[in-house]
Structure 1
Amino acid sequence: MTQNTVEKTSLSLLGLGAMGAALARTWLAAGHQLTVWNRTPGRATPLAAEGAKVADSAAEAVAANTLVVVCLLDDTSVEEALAGVDLTGRDLVNLTTGTPAQARDRAEWARRRGARYLDGGIMAVPPMIGVPEAGGYVFYSGSQDLFERHQETLAVPVGTEYVGQDAGFAALHDVALLSAMYGMFAGAAHAFALIRKEDIDPASFAPLLADWLVAMAPAVHRTAEQLRNGDYTQKVVSNLAMQVAGTPTFLSTAEQQGVSPELLRPYFALMRRRLAEGSGEEDLTGVIDLLIR
């Protein structure tokens, strides 16, 4: 039997928002038999024209296939959609954005309902789905056996990255990376604000900013190494004392440019606190310890 004639896994998909619809179209284009359900039935109509089977209820969609992928608004939506639905023997893959605690609770909830469970954190936006070169992927955590059983199917729309047996780890990785993203966006917002009133073209400034952020990104590897071995003075490039001494320049520049320092002040405050409690020869890694409650 050739590769092109191998029967592909059939699956059900609950949730046809922008992400769900993108996932559905990719599986359909790859030749998978797909049953779909959405709370608003009209969203399924275009997919029916592309070959999807449309279920009248979540229960009908779940009953149609062993592999059931859920991509809904939030954890409450999952609870409501699957209330009273027989999950016995189903492989439930939950791609709904939630917290690590919600994922762990949902894994136990699925186990009590007779289902096997895999949680996912999507590191992509809808236009990246079905476009391998876009670099998107999904974190998966929970049953490794379940992940390996369905990895080929799950990898059709976007790449896969298994991060552990703990069902909460996918959500934790997802939120951790996105938190770093928002920190980067905050820094970029402050940078653009500083030049906003000047005769500086933002479009010309943007490549300089992007290149600088890329150049600084490898510092996370040094931070990780310091956290692992507990020595925050290892391979320090600019020590904490020197960086704290430089913070007034950033605050004064913001004031002179008429820019609020509210995005910088909290981090600078943590740097000063760490300097008071620790060693000036450290890297900035000690700030992380101050964030742990």
Structure 2
Amino acid sequence: MNDTISDHTSATRSVSLLGLGDMGAAFARAWLAAGYSVTVWNRTASRADALVAEGATRAVSAADAVAANTLVVTCLLDDASVGEALESTDLTGKDLVDITTGTPTQARARATWAQARGARFLSGGIMAVPPMVGQPEAGGYVFYSGSSELFEARHEALAVPVGTRFVGTDAGHAALLDVALLSAMYGTFAGITHAFALVRDEDGIELKEFTPLLAGWLAAMLGAGLQMSGQPDSGDDTSDGGSSLAMQVAGIKTFVGTARDQGVSPELLTPYFDLMRRQLDSRHGTEGAKDLVDLLRSGSATVGRADG
């Protein structure tokens, strides 16, 4: 058992990890299983106990963890926590990889901050949940952006817990893609939640029979949704996925009315319905269903309630 920081025999197979929440601990275990020397630090020191028992080295402070290895990975609560943990550390010559969830703006600022302190920097956006870490077949990966030299130099180590995807030298791009994909996920979850709320207590409808119907429909509609959202790049603003915007807006009252008849709040759907109405109004009632992305990006869209 290693309970104090010791010299590492191979700098290329050693890593310091700051932050031992569920995700950080999963990354640490993956590196340990692959034979890496792992130094760990957490603000609540007891969270390191299990990992130390499994072969990790405990750092008594964030500064000690940073000093132990050239490759330093942060997986903390938020960007402010990263700044606080690293505030009094010497980052000269370090390879700092921040996989803390944050915004693109925060990642760019953190890159500038790290470079000013003599470190190379990568920002990461994790597209996985802890049980997927260390399981290549699960398909998890991390978006990385920032120093391409750092990514190339440390790719072998970074690829141990989950897959890697380098998405450019703009340090904010990993966070942006992370949030974009998760936003689509939450939007889908909202629709699924609403669908189950509609049918859950309905006599004669079994959820075990409804679930595969919903899964099949969502799979069938995915292509149409991607086509419609891709219109700004296609040069074709008349494509509507087979159903005009005017017709869809006319049907809003049916969706809202059905929800209310079933005793279900329409609040998960009404913001999108409101956006559809605004887009139709902006085209002066024409039938073309131009993509809604431009309206969101214009800053003129506001959250409202479609009342049917």
Distance 2:288 2:13 in 1: 53
Indicate the SS of the match to 1:106. Answer: helix
User: Would you say 1:289 and 2:294 are equivalent positions?
Assistant: yes
Displacement, 1:219?
2.6
* TM-score, normalised relative to structure 1: 0.93
Partner of 1:172: 176
- C-alpha RMSD over aligned residues: 1.7
Ranges in structure 1 where 5+ consecutive residues have no aligned partner:
1-5
- Equivalent residue for 2:122? 118
Aligned pair 1:262/2:272, yes or no? no
The one-letter code matched in structure 2 to 1:282 is G
Query: Match of 2:257?
Result: 252
- State the partner residue of 2:243: 238
Q: Counterpart amino acid of 1:99? A: T
Equivalent residue pairs, number: 287
Q: Identify if the C-alpha distance between structure 1 residues 213 and 230 changes in structure 2 by more than 3 Å, giving closer, same or farther.
A: same
**Paired residue for 2:233?**
228
Distance 2:62 2:156 in 1: 24
Distance 1:166-1:10 versus aligned 2 partners, 3 A rule? same
Give 1:164 deviation, angstroms: 1.4
Q: Which residue of 2 aligns with 1:89?
A: 93
The one-letter code of the counterpart of 1:23 is: F
In 2, the alpha carbon distance for the partners of 1:39 and 1:115 equals: 23
Q: What SS is found at the alignment partner of 2:168?
A: coil
Give the counterpart of 2:64 among 27, 42, 60.
60
| 203-212 or 81-90, larger mean C-alpha shift | 203-212
Report the equivalent of 2:107: 103
Superposed CA deviations along residues 66-102 of structure 1, whole A, max 9, x for unmatched, are 1101001111111111111000000000000111111
List alignment gaps of at least 5 residues for structure 2.
1-9, 300-308
Distance change >3 Å, CA 134–CA 284, structure 1 → 2: farther
Distance 1:179 1:28 in 2: 33
Once the two structures are aligned, what percentage of the paired residues are identical? 65
Please tell me whether the aligned partners of residues 26 and 156 of structure 1 are also in contact (alpha carbons under 8 angstroms).
Answer: yes
Aligned to 1:131: 135
Amino acid at match of 1:192: F
Farther-moved stretch of structure 1 (191-200 vs 109-118)? 191-200
Q: Which region of structure 1 is more displaced relative to structure 2, 7-16 or 245-254?
A: 7-16
Q: Select 2:201's aligned residue among 188, 197, 220.
A: 197
Q: What is residue 3 of structure 1 aligned with on the other side?
A: none
Letter in 1 for 2:213: L
8 Å contact from structure 1 (residues 239, 280) kept in 2 = no
- For residues 188 and 85 of structure 1, the distance between their equivalents in structure 2, rounded to whole angstroms, comes to 46
| Structure 1: distance between partners of 2:94 and 2:183 | 33
* Match status 1:183 vs 2:187: yes
How far apart, in 2, do the equivalents of 1:18 and 1:196 lie? 33
